[in-house]
Structure 1
């Protein structure tokens, strides 16, 4: 069932009953990247899976990543109905969740940040600049192969052709201006000086083979947060909840229910 939040600007799917659990998707994917874990999580939580601003049925917002974070804070506040909320973000969704927690300290009781970080290396920053430039010159089709490599290892792609077909189609539906703006924001992002402002418990996860946000970024993130634990997901890349849903659920289970 879909619902609108934040004055009708954020479209989200909702299922299950219980405490509110929000799932924020990555830049190179969409909310369907959580489809493999939502049924299980919905047995214990009211799972709300929004389309981030500018994606799907959610309206774009100005103001860079801070603007996106503020819009999502509205959605979380409204969706939680004044109760406690847990927020899980993957990739770009993790950066949004982290920025949101910094700017709105009481927004969540726990965070799960999967395959993100606080800042990219210069090589990582340049990768975003290159993707933005290539998409501007030739369209998203020109960088689809690069985008999929950032999400999944080549071996996984070969083993799951149907899944990859769906992931490619989802990526090509992305609003190109929203994509380029997000690339620009991530290329300049550095949240390291503000990590101490996040007082809630945080579970930091990263796939051991993640090339988009490599494990050192998660090590740095966990070390900079006041209350964080780090777990490495063996055999996974940038979207572990889609690649190994059972492992992902097992890894977050104790943290969610503690």
Structure 2
């Protein structure tokens, strides 16, 4: 079922029934990146998969990550019901979910932050600046190979040609202005001073082969959150739900199924 939220400015698809679980996609992908895990999750939850602002059928929002997070908070409040949603964000969607939890601390019941962090290293910041500059000069096609390397390891790309063709096409449908604005926002991001205010139980997940947001970022994120645990996914890169959906589900499902249990602080 398709629906619109936030006064018609956010487009989403809904699957299943039960407690709400909202999935935020990455910058280099779209909501189809959850297709391999959507149905198993929908067997247990009411799965809501929105287009983030500026993607698909959702209107863009001017400014940096904060207004994006505010728009998604507005969308989640429109879901209604008695249960607070669980929010799972991958990559850029994880940064949006984290920013949203900082600015709207009573909104989500718990978080899954997959392959993101609170702050990039200087080389990581420069990578975003470079992608934004190249995309501005030469269009998105000029950074497609770089984007795919940030999503998937070369061996996975070689073994999954059809999926990679689909992912390249999805990336090229991205609004170039939205892509550049997101790159600039991530390049300047530092949420470390605000992590102590995110008190909801959080599972931090990262692929051990992730080059875009390396495991060190997730370790630092989990260590900075008051109630977090960390899971490393062997053989996975930046989009583990596409690369190894069975492993991803086995990792997140026990956490998603908890109700009111205290989290475990990451080591």
Q: CA deviation at 1:82?
A: 4.7
Q: Distance in 2 between matches of 1:240 and 1:133?
A: 28
- In structure 1, the partner of 2:3 is 3
Over 3 Å counting, the alpha-carbon distance change for 1:80 and 1:154 in structure 2 is farther
The residue number in structure 2 matching 1:241 is 241
SS at match of 2:36: coil
CA RMSD of aligned residues (A): 0.6
Q: Deviations over 1:192-230 (max 9, x none)?
A: 000001010000000000000000000000000000000
In the other structure, the counterpart of 2:171 is 171
In the other structure, the counterpart of 2:35 is 35
Q: Which residue in the other structure is 2:48 paired with?
A: 48
Q: 1:15 to 1:177 in 2, by over 3 A?
A: same
- Deviation at residue 2 of structure 1 after TM alignment: 1.1
Q: Residue 116 of structure 1 contacts residue 218 of structure 1 at CA under 8 Å; is this kept in 2? A: yes
Residue 95 of structure 2 is aligned to residue 95 of structure 1 = yes
Give, in angstroms, the shift of residue 63 of structure 1: 2.4
Check whether the contact 1:20–1:80 (CA below 8 A) recurs between aligned residues.
no
Summarize the alignment of residues 191-210 of structure 1 with structure 2, pairs less than 5 Å apart. Answer: 191-210=191-210
SS in 1 for 2:79: helix
What is the CA–CA distance in structure 2 between the aligned matches of 1:80 and 1:230, rounded to whole Å? Answer: 30
Deviation at residue 77 of structure 1 after TM alignment = 1.1
Q: Which runs of 5+ in 1 are unaligned?
A: none
C-alpha distance in 2, partners of 1:51/1:70?
Answer: 14
Asked if 2 retains the 8 angstrom alpha-carbon contact of 1:153 and 1:237, the reply is yes
Runs of 4 or more above 6 Å deviation: none
User: Aligned partners of 1:186 and 1:81: how far apart in 2?
Assistant: 33
**Could you say which residue in structure 1 is the equivalent of 2:133?**
133
Per-residue Cα deviation, 1:127-180 (whole angstroms, up to 9, x for no partner) = 000000000000000000000000000000000000000000000000000000
The equivalences for 1:1-258 within 5 A come to 1-258=1-258
Q: What CA distance in whole angstroms lies between the structure 2 residues aligned with 1:42 and 1:243?
A: 19
SS at match of 1:79: coil
Q: Distance in 2 between matches of 1:29 and 1:85?
A: 23
Q: How big is the shift at 1:62? A: 1.5
- d(CA) in 1 for partners of 2:131 and 2:257? 39
Normalising to structure 2: TM-score of the pair? 0.96
Any conservation in 2 of the 1:208–1:215 contact (CA below 8 Å)? yes
Helix, strand or coil: the match of 2:44?
coil
CA distance in structure 2 between the aligned counterparts of 1:183 and 1:80, rounded to whole angstroms: 32
TM-score, normalised via structure 1 length: 0.99
Distance 2:27 2:152 in 1: 14
State the alpha-carbon separation in 2 of the partners of residues 200 and 45 from structure 1: 19
Distance in 1 (alpha carbons) for counterparts of 2:63 and 2:100: 13
1:44-68: CA deviation from partner (whole Å, max 9, x where unpaired): 1000000000000000001210000
CA distance in 2, matches of 1:87, 1:253: 13
